Amino acid sequence: MKKQILLLVSIVALIFLPLIAFSQDHDNRFVSYTTDAAEIVFYWKDDNGQPLRSIQNLKSRIEGNNRQLLFAMNAGMYTPDNAPLGLYIENRKMYKRLNTASGSGNFHMTPNGVFYITKKNKAFICTTPDFSDPAHVKFATQSGPMLLIDGEIHPAFKQGSVNLNIRNGVGILPDNRVVFVISKQEINFYDFAAYFKGLNCKNALYLDGFVSRAYIPDSNWEQLDGNFGAIIGVTN
């Protein structure tokens, strides 16, 4: 009898788990892009040393080098002069140091965190206090708050919160690929974090809010404007 029950449970799980995953991946409140860490590049300035500012400017630069832009998204919060607000590493060079100052706003909601890619093309997201060795990092951006910390939703987020905004963020999937997500509509922090949790991400980081833009042509999502700091891109 016990064997029959276990068999029945296994069959039910095989039937319904894919449906749950399908439902999560096709939540029409969000559009996402998944890629390997080795494909990701960070961009901040053009060849003249000026901030790129918009996805259109990045796209034009990429196409000018006879390549195609497959994905782009603003890479985190920035200052009025379009400089990264926190840690920023591009092609192994540190342009901005880790920001551990206190203050108001989403960036300073503790814990905030760092999304980084090592020289061995491994992607990680950690809290700011846990980031300790920039020498092995190829790309990094600091933002906040963390959305998921060790698989749990940030304790400051509340279900049913009326703090609604367009939001974008990044998470690490169980297979070590990177998933970028932007909401199609205004949403609160809790629901945004819950989406990453439903994808089985262990850690996820909020990148920015109402200024957020993403270029994901495979999903018919093409926002080419913007006026922000660094940009994350994938090309071929």
Does pLDDT of 19 surpass 80? no
13 domain residue, yes or no: no
**CA 117 vs CA 10, 87, 120, 210: distances in Å:** 38, 13, 8, 26
Give me the domain span that covers residue 108: 29-235
pTM summary value: 0.88
Residue 26 banded pLDDT, cuts 50, 70, 90? low
77 domain residue, yes or no: yes
11 domain residue, yes or no: no
7 domain residue, yes or no: no
Residue 6 banded pLDDT, cuts 50, 70, 90? very low
The tens digit of pLDDT for each residue in 72-105 reads 999 999 999 999 999 999 999 999 999 999 889 9
pLDDT of residue 133: 87
3 domain residue, yes or no: no
Give the chain's domain count.
1
Sequence-distant (6+) residues with CB within 8 A of 137 are: 89, 92, 116, 117, 118, 119
Phi and psi torsions of 25, nearest 5°: -65, -25
